[in-house]
Every structure is written in C-alpha cells, then in structure tokens.
Structure 1
Amino acid sequence: MTNNPERVLSVPLKKSDSVELHRRLRKFVATANSERDAQRVEEFLETLHRCRLDMLERDLSLPMRRNCLIHYFKCICMVEPLFTAISSNGNADSDPITFVWYDSLQPDRFSSQRSIQLEKASVLFNLGAICSQIGASCSHTTAVGRHFAIDAFKDAAKFFWKLWKVYAKDVSATLDLTLVFTQTLYLLFSAQASELKLQQHLDHTCVISALHQHRCALSYKSVSKKYRRALDLLLRDSAVTKYVINSDVDWINHLNQKMNFFRVQARQRRSSILPKSERPKTFKVVQLSPVEKLLRGMCTCVDRWMPKQQPLFLDLMLSEYSPFGIMDGGKLVAMPWDMPPPYPTSLSILSSSPSSHMLAVPLKKSDHLDFYDSLRTYFVIKYSESVASSVEGFLKILDKLRREMQCDTLSLHIHRDHLIRYLKHLCMIEKFFPMTTVPNPPSFIWYDAFNPQQVSSQHNIFLEKASIVFNLGAICTQIASSCDLTNIQGHQVAMDALNEASHWFLVLLPVAKKASATMDLTVKCIQMLSKIITAQIAELKRSPHSQSDGSSSAVYPVSLLYQKAYDISTFGPLAENLRQSSVPQFLESKMKTSHQTGPSDVIKQFLSGYCEAQSLLREGCQTPCLDLLSDPMIGLLMEN
C-alpha cells in the first residue's frame, strides 16, 4: 500500500418528523403549575418550536445549520425538567409527545420514543455530523482551509465522544446511536483531524532535521493506530458490520486503506525515532504568510484571552432583539447564539436605574485613528502591493470595528460584543508590530477612565490592547450595575457579568505592564478593581439566589475585601487620581453596609437546564476558531 486515499469521510444528518411542542408543553405547565406560569414561558415555548423547525431546515449553509443545532440543544436542555415531570405525571399520558428520528445511514429505519433522551442524543449526533461535513467541505490544500478542517473534525470527534460516553448508553434507538458506532465515529474523526495536522506539519517544515523525522514517524504511527481501532470496532460487532456494509459508503475499505497507508509510512520511518536524550529541543519552520499570521493571531487570542468558562447567562441579554432574525439567505431562523430567555428581558433583567450597590467602572475614551491607511502602507512596504490587496478587506473591517467600538449610543451588551470582536481582530494584527518601516506608524491615544485629564499617546499596540481589555472589564461592571437584583434572572446575569469582569482585569495585568500608560492601567489600580469585583461577587453569593443562608457570618469577609480595596485606593498617586471619582465614597459605604436580594421563582428550572447545555457544549465540544466561519472577514481571507 503506497497511496493515501485523499477522500475524507463525513456523516449524513439524521432526519426527524415534525412534532408539536409549544401547545402540549404549555398545556402541561398550565395544568401542573398555573396559567400565570404558562404565560411566563409562552415566548420561550414559541421559540423552542421555531428552533426545532430551523434545526431541521435543509437549505441553510453548513455553519448556520451548526449554529441552529447548538441553539436547539440548549432549548431542549431547558425544557428537560418539564419532560421529567410529564413522565411522572399519569394525567399527561392523554397528550404524549413522541419524537421520531430516522437512521442517518439507512433512512428506512427509525426510532419512535417519548423520551427526550432520544431527542438530545439525535441532536448531538447531528452536531457531530454537521461538523464532519464542514471539515470535508473545507479545502485541504490551503493552510487556512486545512486549519478549519482540523478544527471541524476535532469538534465532530468531541461531539461523538460525548454521545458515546454520556447519551448513547441510555438510548435504545437506531444503529447509528449505538455505543459501538458512536465510538467508531469518535475515532474516525480524531484520525482525520490528526491526518490533516500531520500534513500541516509536513508543509510547514523547511528542513529535514532529526526532530522532523522523529515527529513524522510517531505521527504516522499514531494516525494508523486510530484508523485501526475504528476498523476493529466495526468488524467486532456483526450487526454494525452489516450496517455499514449496506450503506452508500464503503467504510471498511476506506478505513483499511487509511490504516495500511499510515502503517507503511510509520514502518519506513521507524528507524528515525530517537531516544529521548537525543531529541533536539527546537526545529526550524518556514515563514508563515501574512494571511496565516492573521489567522494564527485570532486563534491565539481565543485560546489565551477569551474566558475559558463562558458566562452562562450574560449573553441572554437580548432585550433589543426579537428572538428571531433574518440570518441566512433571506430565511427566517432563530438567533444562533445563546438561548433567548423564557421571560421579558426588559422587565426581568434590567432595572429602571443603575444599582447603587454595584460599582460601574467608567470606560476609557480614545481619539480617532485612521488605522486603514497606516496598516495598508505597512503591508506594501514590508511585503508587496499584491499582499496588501489580499488583506485589504480585513484592514477595512479592523478600521470599521475600531470606529464602532467608540460609539457612545450602543447598548451595554452590544458594546461588549463590539469590544470582544475588536480585541480578536487586534490580536490578528499584533504580530506585525512594531511597524518601524512605516513613515507614520499608527499612534494610539487613550484617556484615563477616572481622570480624563491624563492622556497617553503611543505607537505601542499594548496600550491599545490594555485599553480594550480595561473597557471590557468596565462594561461588564456596568452590565452588572444595570441588572435588577431582586429576581433570579437579573441576579444570574449580574453574577456572570462580574465574573467576566474579574477575568478581564486578571488578564489585563501582564499586558498593562507592557504599556507605560495612564494611572488606570497601573498594577495598583487593576488590583483595586479586582478586589472590588471579588467583594461584589462574594456579596451576591450571599443572596437566596445562590442557595446561601445569607447569615451574618459572611459579612466580615465581604467587608474585609472592600477594606483591602479601600486601602489600595487611598495610597500614593492612585489616591489623587481617584479623588474626583465615586470610588472612595462607594468603598466607604460598602464597608458599613451589605445588600441582599429577593426570593427565586419557577424559572430556575429552565435556567438549570440551560446550565447543563452550556456546560456540555463548553467542555471541549466546541473549537472556538470554528465560529470564525460565520465571520465575513474570514471569507475575505479564504478567497486569497
């Protein structure tokens, strides 16, 4: 066996019959709880029904279908407590909800059950399948296309791993949801991701070094082993073997070819495997193209800067949006990001006036900057006119994003989204700084958040990054301050906002040290703000919404945290800088008083389900960079 079959495998999606969820679930809520509760979840149940229709829509792009599946999975996790209650309620049997799902490889077979576990397992299967199709549709001959294909196959493998480990064992359904087949899919897409990763390594290596040979030998062996394990699983179970033989794809022959090719390659390179004592510590690689540098900067930003634990409720703040929007080719589909809440956001989350119990940190202001001309000139001088033209679309978007994130009329959560997006794009361009070859490099001008008389003007991109991260932390404190803390929805959003603010001020410390700037970016100021946020989080945890007894024993630690922040605020130059701000008065009042919120309500069941969905999807099942496929800027880069 000497030739590697170039084709990769993908999995078709499972299909399902339509089912009426809105009317039946609403009837159950009204009967089991009250008509008032049914009215409170009316909007959510309508959204749930629409999400299921969108999830089954066949005319959407692959990234959009992935978004709809993720969205719907969160929906059904939110209503799972209702299905648990229905199954334990004998009177609900008069109007049962039955899910019908067809086998992905043999559509004439189907499973019909009342269990929501079948619905969850099938949606999770389709998430893996759609990611496999995205990976197969990407170009495997270009660096950018291969990067997205690797991420897509990794996501597919992780979804099938979750299906195999968590859901398949509790679902008696079609053969595509069995333990053997879901484990096979996990191994298959892990192997395909590893294969492309190996090809990426081979393309980026410019010298045939000992370390290069060593790594190639190990990689070929690893890929061969994954394909062999997938093939062994298929052949071990006679029912599954017959199942794949009768499908349209020659699974067994394909896996056998892949396994043999990589096994032969591994054997040929076996003599190149070095003992650990002889392995070089470094090796040379080719210079990345400007487009590859931009993409790598974005992914590095996602991996190192973005919060690892995404907020569970902060993105529910969609008060200025309808639950639906025109999203793809003129089709009406549900919002693909986090689930719209099952309650009116303007009433249940936002307060009519900012909370006096929360410190809302002001934003840093900046002067206008013509980013586009400076950056394009740099690419012309450093590389060529053709390279500058290839990244021109990105440079225009970057310039536009900087203007938009300075807009004062944006709502808080939209302003946060703009800042996050601009930070990601800024990290893409960071590798090209300092721009010493440009006659007039971009100059960043930022004013102190607490004392606008102070200003810093630098060519250093770390001033720009530090200021953006500061504003991300500040905008999250403003979101927390705007929440109504007397109900569970507002309380949860405020808690998430403060946790995210804490993250931003934590990551701000190292980058602020690289920017000699205004007093608000000093270590002392950042430490003070971090302690204030930590104290506010501790204070919120004492509320009934956090299942705390709110006893007086918790008062001293919270008060002590405020005391530490106050001590920092009254020392040295920082004290003078904060003199005209409200920070000292806020801390003085906080050291004397505490605040508690009101009781929880029945919506907590829905939020519990949402937490489960978010937890499952965030625990390694989604590669952040794959979300970039929905970004128009990435489309511009991939065209070049």
Structure 2
Amino acid sequence: MNNDNPNPERMLAIPVKKTDPVDLHRPLRNLVARKYSESDAEKVESVLETLNNCRRDMVERGDLSLVMQRECLNHYFKCLCMVEPLFTTISSDADADSDPIVLVWYDAFYSEREGGVSSQRNSIQLEKAAVVFNLGALCSQIGASCDRTTALGRNLAMDAFNDAANFFLKLWKVFSTDLSATLDLTLLLAESLHCLFSAQALELNLQQQLGNNSNSSALQNHLCAVSFKSVSKLYQRAYDLIQSDSAATQHVSSFDQSWLTHLYQKVKFFEEEALQRRSSMLPESQLPKTFSFDHDAESLTEKLVKGICRRTYQWIPKPEGIYLDLILSEYSPFEIIDGGKLVSNPYGMPPYPTNFAIPSTWSWYSQHILALPLKKSEPLDLYESLRNYFVLKYSESVANRVEGLLEMLNKLRSEMLRDDLSLPLRRDCLIRYYKCLCMIEPLFPMTSSSNPPIFVWYDAFYPHRNSSQHNIHLEKASVLFNLGALGSHIAHFCDVTTIQGRRIAIDALQDASYWFLILTHEAEKASATTDLSISSAQMLRFSSFPWIIITSISCFSALSQTL
C-alpha cells in the first residue's frame, strides 16, 4: 500500500451498559395470580425464575467470559420476549395493588454511573434495547480481543464485528424507535455504531485480500478498489453522524478523545487508497466475455487481469447464515385473554444452563463429520514451460511483463502440495492458485509449445489410479475438489462443544458444498479419474447437506437452551 494505515492493529470496542438489580419474579407472579389464577401463576413459574436468574447473572456475574456473558444475554432476551405481554398488562393496570417494576440503566460511555441514567417504570422496551446494545458491545469486545495476526483469528474477529454491527442495526431500526433514554440508546448513536463495526469487519476482510494478493499489484488494485471505497464510506458515515450532533461529539469525546481522530484518519487513508486504485476498476459491462492472446500482445497484462475479473462475476455467492435471526426472533408462548384465562403453549423455556454445553447426542453426530481425502499430484515446474511459451508466442519483453505472475503461479502450486500447512492457510493458497489458473486458462491448449506442462493427479479414493493430461481443466477441477475436501477437514476438526465452533463448522461445510457445486461445472470439461466426474461432484455436494443440517440443528438446539 502506498500509505500507512493509521493504527492497523487497533480495533475499537465499547463497554456494556450497567444496570441496578431488580426483582422481576415477585411482581410478575403476583400479577398473574391476581389477574388470572394461582394455577396460571404456577404455569409460568419456571419461566419467571429463569428470567430472574438471567438478569441476576447479567448484573452480578462479572467473572463470566465474554462468550458466556453473550449467551446469558441471549437467553435473557428470549425470556423477555416471552413475558412481554405481562409487562404490558402491568403498565396498563390501574389496580393500586399492582407492583411497579422500575428499570434503571446507565449510559455505557460514562465511567461513573452518575453521568447518565435512564429510569422508566415498567418499560420492557428500555430493557430490550439495553440488552441488544450490550449484545453488540460484547461482540465488539470479542472481536477486539481476537488474535488478528492469524487467519483464524481474523475470521473470528470479522464474525464478531459483523455480529456487533447487526445488533446495532436492530437497535437502530427496531428497539430505539420512540424510546426516551440515555444518549447511547438514541437512533444517532445506534446508526453510528452500526457503521463503525461494519467498517472494522470490512477492513479486516480487506487486509486478508491484500495479504492474499500481495504479489500481483494489478489484480490487487482491481479486487480491492471497491472494498477501499466501501470501508471509507462506512467510516465517513460513522464520523459524520457523531460530528453532526454537538451532544454526541461531547459524549464520545468524554469517553475517549482519540475516537474521532482515529475515525478521521481512517476516512482519509481509505479515501486516498480508493482514489489511487480507481483507474484500475472496470465496470462489469466493459468486461469482455471472451478474449484472445493472439492480438494486441502489448496489453497482455491487462488481459490477464480481465480474465480473472470476468470469472469473478460468474462465481456463485455463498449463502449467509441466520445466526442473528435465531437470537433476535421474538415470540411469546402466552396468550392473554381479558376476563378469562392465561393460556400457554405446551412448550416452555428450558432452564437457564450453567455449562453452555450441547447434548451428547448432537455432539456425537457433529464430531463424526467425514473428512474427505485430498487428491495428490506430482510436482510440476509451471514457470519454465509457460515463460518459454510466451517467448515463443510473443516476445521476450512480453514474457518479462508477466514474469511476476508466472513466479507466483509456480510458487502457489508448490505451496498447495505441502502437508505441513495449517488447514486455513492451505485453503487460502488453493483459492489464490485457482484464481491464477483462471487467468492463464486462455493460453490452453498450448498447441504451439514444444514442451507444454503435463498435469498428473491421483484419484482421492483410489490412489493407485491417476490421470495425466495437458488439459488445464484437469488442474482446475482437482483444485476445486481439494477445496471442498479441505472444507470437510475444517468442519471435522472444529470444537463443536461450543456455539462458535459449530458456527465455523457450518460455514466450512457450506464452503465445501459451494466448491463441489463449481466442480460440477468444471467436470464437464475434464475427462479424468472418477472422483472428478459430474456424478461424483454432485454426490459430494449433496452429501454435505445432512451434516450442515445436523450441525445447524445442534447449534439451534444449543441456542434454544442458551437464548
């Protein structure tokens, strides 16, 4: 990069809101017994006890880890949704015997509680808004605490910051509406925090892109230009929202004076980088559907870049998860009938867990995810054969211009065959190699070359069988197979006793299914071993679905216990 990213290692996080203890069990139970009957009060006893336990742990259990605090809040939020009709009844009840519930929350950005207080009688909307705020705050702290020097740490941090951004989006769009509270729960602060954590998640993703494409400046410029602009806009929006309101500016500055300077520096840095890369951007309408290397050899580098960019638009996007929707789905098992009975659905909230473990049955299924074997290949020097072809077909000067690409291609092929690399690094290496293969695909078949490269790959399931061809589609199909197989390996080794581990396993299995889907298209052009046949690719793709479903159900089962 041409400029230094200001504080690239620093990621902003916010503290959670504090609240005073309050007894929810007694007034809610008294309400049900008085308005309906004692038997109805007994029906909701377990839910009210769980509600009270969750809130007490939320207030008093400072020894819980960040993840366990988040799961406690998830469970409490679900309980609040269940008893919301009872709060509504208390608020509208004119009976003098009704016990008021006074909820007191303090502004998160004031270190001392006296700095900002929001107190509302019987207001469950204040309670829910504060809980959603704290869910976002905890996710921001989880993201900031991740080891972002590793690929896995960056992915976990990106997930956490994205979760934080989504919680503040919910706060902004749903829970802060028509709420009279402290400044941290206003629409302005909720939107600015949504933009901030979205920007931090996208910045980490951009760092990963830059690391993956460090040896190809033209390709890097094209793939990252849009991301630089997007990050700049998000930081700009967060900065403008705070600066547009004097109270918000004073509010944030009193919490941390460096925040506004940090945001301003980020805006300027990403703006400048986006401008420098804008010249390399091509609109989709201008990307050619086909191109040849037989004409206009002087623009060969640009044509290579167009090759990978054209194919990038053809890639099928991955499906997004529904984790946040599971957390924030609102439902109520109670139906309040005026002058009648309190009717409850046959299911109730499970007890508040203490160990956050998943049932042993689901753990067994998740731990028995099959890890597919990887295809093996013979070593191959792509650099010499490809460079000689460029010299023969075009000229020495043209070969010199693409030398960096050919060196990287050869290095990536050697790296992808290493068994000592970690699974995430090996996966990233394969993805980069596949992109490079897309770039050089128009060179094949190399009919005019005296020494074209010969790709040799062994069957993953029958290692004694192999296929030896000049066909680049054999190479691409084999790489796609190994990408799918690596996804199954990552899922197999995930710690499925945690919600985060199960989420990573689900993502890895979805990745595997995605790569096998792409393989079904590539297999049409590759006549090779049976593991690369269309029927095999389709079978492997659909075989991932049961494990995705099982792992998702186990995740949902655990969420049902903890949310």
Q: Does the 8 A contact of 1:71 with 1:336 survive in 2?
A: no
Q: Which amino acid aligns with 2:120?
A: Q
Q: How does 1:155-234 map to 2 (within 5 A)?
A: 155-205=163-213, 208=216, 210=218, 212-234=220-242
Q: Give the match for residue 5 of structure 1.
A: 7
| Cα distance in structure 1, aligned partners of 2:124 and 2:22 | 12
Q: Which amino acid aligns with 2:108?
A: S
Q: Structure 1 residue 150: deviation in Å?
A: 1.6
Q: How does 1:50-129 map to 2 (within 5 A)?
A: 50-56=53-59, 57-91=61-95, 94-106=98-110, 107-108=113-114, 109-114=116-121, 115-129=123-137
Q: Does the 8 A contact of 1:420 with 1:472 survive in 2?
A: no
Q: Deviations over 1:199-247 (max 9, x none)?
A: 1221222553655323433322222222122112111111111111111
SS at match of 2:170: helix
Q: Structure 1 residue 308: deviation in Å?
A: 9.0
Q: Structure 1 residue 166: deviation in Å?
A: 1.7
Q: How does 1:600-639 map to 2 (within 5 A)?
A: none
SS at match of 2:108: coil
Aligned in 2, Cα 1:318/1:151: closer, same or farther, shift over 3 Å?
farther
Q: Which amino acid aligns with 1:283?
A: I
Q: Deviations over 1:389-418 (max 9, x none)?
A: 9999x969949999x9xxxxxxxxxxxxxx
| Cα distance in structure 2, aligned partners of 1:242 and 1:370 | 53
Q: Which amino acid aligns with 2:31?
A: F
| Cα distance in structure 2, aligned partners of 1:130 and 1:307 | 14
| Cα distance in structure 2, aligned partners of 1:125 and 1:82 | 23
| Cα distance in structure 1, aligned partners of 2:144 and 2:183 | 23
Aligned in 2, Cα 1:430/1:229: closer, same or farther, shift over 3 Å?
closer
Q: Give the match for residue 143 of structure 1.
A: 151
1:283 counterpart = 2:308: yes
Q: Structure 1 residue 422: deviation in Å?
A: 8.4
Q: Structure 1 residue 272: deviation in Å?
A: 3.0
Q: Structure 1 residue 276: deviation in Å?
A: 4.6
Q: Does the 8 A contact of 1:398 with 1:425 survive in 2?
A: no
| Cα distance in structure 2, aligned partners of 1:16 and 1:148 | 29
Identity of aligned residues (%): 45
1:16 counterpart = 2:16: no
Q: Does the 8 A contact of 1:67 with 1:336 survive in 2?
A: no
Instruction: Give the alignment partner of residue 354 of structure 2, picking from 326, 329, 346.
Output: 326
| Cα distance in structure 2, aligned partners of 1:216 and 1:400 | 30
SS at match of 1:170: coil
SS at match of 2:21: coil
Q: Structure 1 residue 21: deviation in Å?
A: 0.7
Q: How does 1:104-503 map to 2 (within 5 A)?
A: 104-106=108-110, 107-108=113-114, 109-114=116-121, 115-205=123-213, 208=216, 210=218, 212-279=220-287, 282-283=307-308, 303=320, 323-327=351-355, 375=373, 383-384=417-418, 386-387=420-421, 398=492, 466=542
Q: Which amino acid aligns with 2:7?
A: P
Q: Does the 8 A contact of 2:168 with 2:190 survive in 1?
A: yes
SS at match of 2:105: strand
| Cα distance in structure 1, aligned partners of 2:369 and 2:81 | 46
Q: Deviations over 1:150-170 (max 9, x none)?
A: 222122112112211222232
Aligned length: 395
Aligned in 2, Cα 1:321/1:180: closer, same or farther, shift over 3 Å?
closer
Q: Does the 8 A contact of 2:163 with 2:324 survive in 1?
A: no
SS at match of 2:104: strand
Q: How does 1:541-620 map to 2 (within 5 A)?
A: none
Q: Which amino acid aligns with 2:38?
A: E
| Cα distance in structure 1, aligned partners of 2:98 and 2:249 | 41
| Cα distance in structure 1, aligned partners of 2:489 and 2:225 | 41
Q: Give the match for residue 33 of structure 2.
A: 30
| Cα distance in structure 2, aligned partners of 1:370 and 1:152 | 25
Q: CA RMSD in A?
A: 5.2
Q: Which amino acid aligns with 1:159?
A: F
Q: Structure 1 residue 432: deviation in Å?
A: 9.7
Q: Does the 8 A contact of 2:195 with 2:237 survive in 1?
A: yes
| Cα distance in structure 2, aligned partners of 1:249 and 1:66 | 28
| Cα distance in structure 2, aligned partners of 1:111 and 1:306 | 30
1:49 counterpart = 2:56: no
Q: Which amino acid aligns with 1:262?
A: F
Q: Give the match for residue 458 of structure 2.
A: none
| Cα distance in structure 1, aligned partners of 2:185 and 2:421 | 48
- How high is the TM-score relative to the length of structure 1? 0.51
Q: Does the 8 A contact of 1:398 with 1:426 survive in 2?
A: no
Q: Which amino acid aligns with 1:326?
A: T
Q: Does the 8 A contact of 2:102 with 2:119 survive in 1?
A: yes
Q: Structure 1 residue 120: deviation in Å?
A: 0.6
Aligned in 2, Cα 1:371/1:158: closer, same or farther, shift over 3 Å?
closer
Q: Does the 8 A contact of 2:228 with 2:273 survive in 1?
A: yes
Aligned in 2, Cα 1:385/1:370: closer, same or farther, shift over 3 Å?
same
| Cα distance in structure 2, aligned partners of 1:159 and 1:420 | 17
Which piece of structure 1 moves more, 134-143 or 303-312?
Answer: 303-312
SS at match of 2:95: helix
Q: Which amino acid aligns with 2:148?
A: H
- How high is the TM-score relative to the length of structure 2? 0.58
SS at match of 1:327: coil
Q: Structure 1 residue 58: deviation in Å?
A: 2.1
Q: Which amino acid aligns with 1:81?
A: P
Q: Give the match for residue 571 of structure 1.
A: none
